[in-house]
Structure 1
Amino acid sequence: MAHSILIMFHCNQHTGYAIGSLEEVFKRAAIEAGFDQHNILWSYRKVFSPEVNVFAINYVCPDDTKKLKKVLKEHKVSTILAFDLRHPSPIIRTARKMGTTRVVAYWGASMSSLYQGFKLILRRCQWILQAHAAPDFFIFESDAMRKTGTHGRGIPSRRTCVIPLGVDTNIFFPAVAERYAQKLFSIPINRKIIIYSGHMEERKGLRVLMDAMLELERRNRLEPVHLLICGNKEHQSKPYEDMLSNSEAKNHVTFAGYRTDVPQLMRSAYLGTIASTGWDSFTMSSVEMLSSGLPLIVSELQGLKETIENGVCGFYIAPGDYHALASLWLQYIDDIELRERHSKASRERAERLYSIDAQVTRIARTLTPKPVFPNEIFRDRELEEHQ
């Protein structure tokens, strides 16, 4: 029986958003690393569509180690690739006992606060004392996220690499005069669409977007703008709709819900915005916007700001600064030449730095028994120079 790889997620099956994209990337990376497709196993906290190679394992729950043991034994799992796997972890101890030879942790969010001095020394001591319960290797999506591991948990830098998210440039691409969103949501064609796509958590800055729309109303500049919000489920949009309830701005905002047609919607947009106010990593939606040829305005936060080159394919704003955001929206609307120049630069940056094929290959290399550790293998020199 051939050896297998177990790809583990701490979330529920069918979570969607960026997890859906990563599932396909992880699958391709496993195949490129030499695993047969039939020997690629999956685990989630909860499973809604039971399949032969899909298991319900909550890897933060010690009680689920029995389930894990059974899977590892029956399928001869040699490698584990786990999303957001913390250190130390009981599943690593279990995996070692069951003969698993390689555990790779993929981190899509921050690990902990950054420490200095005595606290950092303690974290490094913890690493040494509990190394047997640590992953063999850590993948981070940005330099900021990597620093949370090396400076927040004392992880040796030689055990880490940065692999930015990749985008399929054949699916997300610019289009001339695309009117898909305008027709679908009955948005007047004279309005320029500003798009946000992603989670609706408070830290994602939806309130900042609403405040910027209200600011445009105060400036009497609402008419040329329409804000399209994608990603809300159930009643998640209500707090933000309430912010606009007594304003004209409510007629210039569309909450589109969770979408499967995001590429078409982005091709209909004029520019993109991610105005996060709390920690934000290197987001999938940001590289999708760049690949779609959208100038991108982002908060100057951690990994998020690594997405763009400020002043070349977009602009930074201070977190929460809706006045600056409103002004930048108008700047792009009033200066078509600027918008076109940044649009071209966005697409070029996505093609040059954020190829999904490169992402797959880099992850595949971390899954091999004896990967080469120097960080430059996993990261383009050009990417280093442009961050």
Structure 2
Amino acid sequence: MRSLRSKGSLSIGSTSFPSLFWSAGGGVDNPSTLHIGNLAEGGGLERYFRELVCRLSRGDGGALGMVLGRDNVDNAFLAFAAPHDPLPERLYKMRRVFLRARKAFPVDGVVAHFPLYAFPILHRLDIPLLVHFHGPWAEESLWEGGRGVSTWMKRQIEQWVYRRAEHFIVLSEAFGELLQRLHGVPDRRLSVIPGGVDMERFRALPPREEARRALGWPLDRPILFTVRRLVPRMGLENLIHAMERIKRVYPDAWLAVAGRGPLGHTLAKRVHERGLEGHVFLEGYLSEKRLALAYRAADLCVVPSSALEGFGLVAAESLAAGTPVLVTPVGGLPEVVGGLAPELVLSGTDGDALADGIIEALRGERVLPSASDCRRHAWSFDWEQVIPKLHRVYQGVVG
């Protein structure tokens, strides 16, 4: 088996693939992997998936991403369908493109990052399947109001895919335990490898005041920042509730909330109803450049998740920018910051717990790590540390 290298494009039938030329490598020592995922959602998971596949595609074994969304990201991705395609059409296209890719490319293993798009190829798999478990799809659906047949079907698809998988990778011990509880995965088929951060991206950030100028943010107010998908389990309504108390103690406190999602209109209504227009600003989507500046511009970042937080990439990215971050005691969040300072873990997830922790931090009663300590801790999540660990797991499964 030889490794995958991107170079231009290649058409097979009606499908245009990133073109490959063959070089030494591949097989057990340098496995070539085909990653199935989604580039249509945005957020930390998309950043993780995109960066992972791009870095693996430049390695000895090589990698190709088959995605719902756009293709041609660093010549490492192929879009099998558009996000607006009906679901049956997406699944049909996924199967068709996968079968053509298998004939065209030498691949040692398939790596699924979302069970739905691995489902249509299960009966045609003749190579190992690995799963990056980013979250329980059916449980997340329940949190977002899903019920009945739809949620039942999601759980069934998860079970079918996970029964076929040889090995699982999770981002935290907490999600490893969740995967075992929900799907009975034994320890021997489970590896815990944290998410990756591109530390170089945060190395040359400007001073805090300069970052605020670039974003058009206030220069003379204490600024809190969070970036989340705008869905119920992210705890943003609790954070807005907390701002009512914080405003009474710090009348000039200012919270910036970045992200998109179905809860956007509800959050805007909450801000208006509680008279917080001058204190809570809904930023919407931020580009990666502006996101890095936002981490740097804030005095304090907050991750207010209520449930099902597998890692919390935004917490690690905040630390990489030199800004301390308070997190709720949910899922893998305490694992991200616990080795730095236990004071960064809040006592609970409700509005009062958030308000207590933030007020204590702004008063100096809750001791926060310095910018240099934050950055030093974040280096443990650098992709240069993470990729070799993933590579060893891929080698072991293919072998």
**With structure 1 as the length reference, what TM-score do the two structures score?**
0.76
Q: Relative contact order (C-alpha < 8 Å, sep 6+): which is higher?
A: 1
Is 1:65 the counterpart of 2:92 in the alignment? Answer: no
Matched, 1:329 2:353: no
Q: Is it true that 1:153 corresponds to 2:183 in the alignment?
A: yes
Structure 1 residue 81, shift from structure 2 partner: 1.8
Q: Distance in 1 between matches of 2:299 and 2:351?
A: 19
**Cα contact 1:312–1:345 (8 A) shared by 2:** no
Q: Report the 3-state secondary structure (helix = DSSP H, G, I; strand = E; otherwise coil) of the residue aligned with 1:20.
A: helix
Deviation at 1:313, TM superposition (A): 5.9
Partner SS state of residue 199, structure 2: coil
Indicate which of 133, 152, 155 corresponds to 1:107: 133
Q: Secondary structure at the match of 1:8?
A: strand
Match for residue 162 of structure 1? Answer: 192
Moved more, 314-323 or 255-264: 314-323
Judging changes above 3 Å, is the alpha-carbon distance between structure 1 residues 179 and 20 closer, same or farther for their aligned structure 2 residues? same
- Counterparts of 1:1-387 in structure 2 under 5 Å? 2=2, 4=4, 5=32, 7-13=34-40, 15=42, 17-35=44-62, 40-47=63-70, 54-56=78-80, 61=91, 64-85=94-115, 89-96=119-126, 101-110=127-136, 134-173=164-203, 177-217=207-247, 219-223=248-252, 225-232=253-260, 236-260=263-287, 261-309=290-338, 312=341, 314-335=343-364, 338-339=367-368, 341=369, 343-351=371-379, 353-368=380-395
Counterpart amino acid of residue 266 in structure 1: Y
How far 1:188 moved relative to its partner?
A: 3.1
**SS state of the match for residue 255, structure 1?**
strand
Call closer, same or farther: CA 1:7–1:200 in 2, change over 3 Å.
Answer: farther
3-state SS of paired residue (1:81): strand
Give the C-alpha shift of residue 30 in structure 1. 4.5
- Check conservation: 1:150, 1:156, Cα contact below 8 A: yes
Question: What amino acid sits opposite 2:330 in the alignment?
Answer: L
Q: Shift of residue 139 of structure 1?
A: 0.7
1:368 aligned counterpart, secondary structure: helix
Q: How far does the alpha carbon of each residue in 1:250-297 deviate from its partner, in whole angstroms, 9 at most, with x for none?
A: 202222221122111111111110111121110211110121222221
Quote the RMSD (CA, aligned, Å).
3.5
Report the number of matched residues: 345
Q: 1:188 to 1:336 in 2, by over 3 A?
A: farther
Q: After TM superposition, give the deviation of residue 239 of structure 1 in Å.
A: 1.5
Q: Deviations over 1:45-93 (max 9, x none)?
A: 3446698961416899477434322221222332212213379945233
Q: Kindly tell me: are residues 31 and 103 of structure 1, through their superposed partners in 2, closer, same or farther at Cα, counting changes over 3 Å?
A: farther
Q: How far apart, in 2, do the equivalents of 1:53 and 1:213 lie?
A: 41
What amino acid sits opposite 1:103 in the alignment?
A: L
| Identical-pair percentage | 19
1:44 maps to a residue whose letter is V
Q: Is contact 1:274-1:298 (8 Å) kept? A: yes
Amino acid at match of 1:150: Q
Return the TM-score normalized by structure 2. Answer: 0.74
Distance 1:301 1:89, change over 3 A: same
Cα distance 1:252–1:52, how it changes in 2: closer, same or farther (>3 A)?
closer
Partner of 1:380: none
Which amino acid in the other structure matches residue 228 of structure 1? Answer: A
Partner SS state of residue 179, structure 1: helix
Compared with structure 1, are the counterparts of its residues 53 and 254 closer, same or farther at alpha carbon in structure 2 (3 Å cutoff)? closer
Q: CA deviation at 1:301?
A: 1.0
| 1-structure distance, mates of 2:245, 2:77 | 52
Q: CA deviation at 1:311?
A: 8.4
The range that moved more, 342-351 or 155-164, is: 342-351
Unaligned runs of 5+ in 1: 114-125, 373-387
C-alpha separation between the residues in 1 aligned to 2:325 and 2:371? 9
Taking the aligned partners of 1:264 and 1:49, their CA distance within structure 2 comes to: 26
Distance 1:360 1:156 in 2: 24
Deviations 1:114-142 (A, max 9, x none): xxxxxxxxxxxx9xx98996222211100
- Structure 1 residues 247 and 231 mapped into 2: Cα distance closer, same or farther (>3 Å)? same
For residue 67 of structure 2, what is the amino acid of its counterpart?
Answer: Y
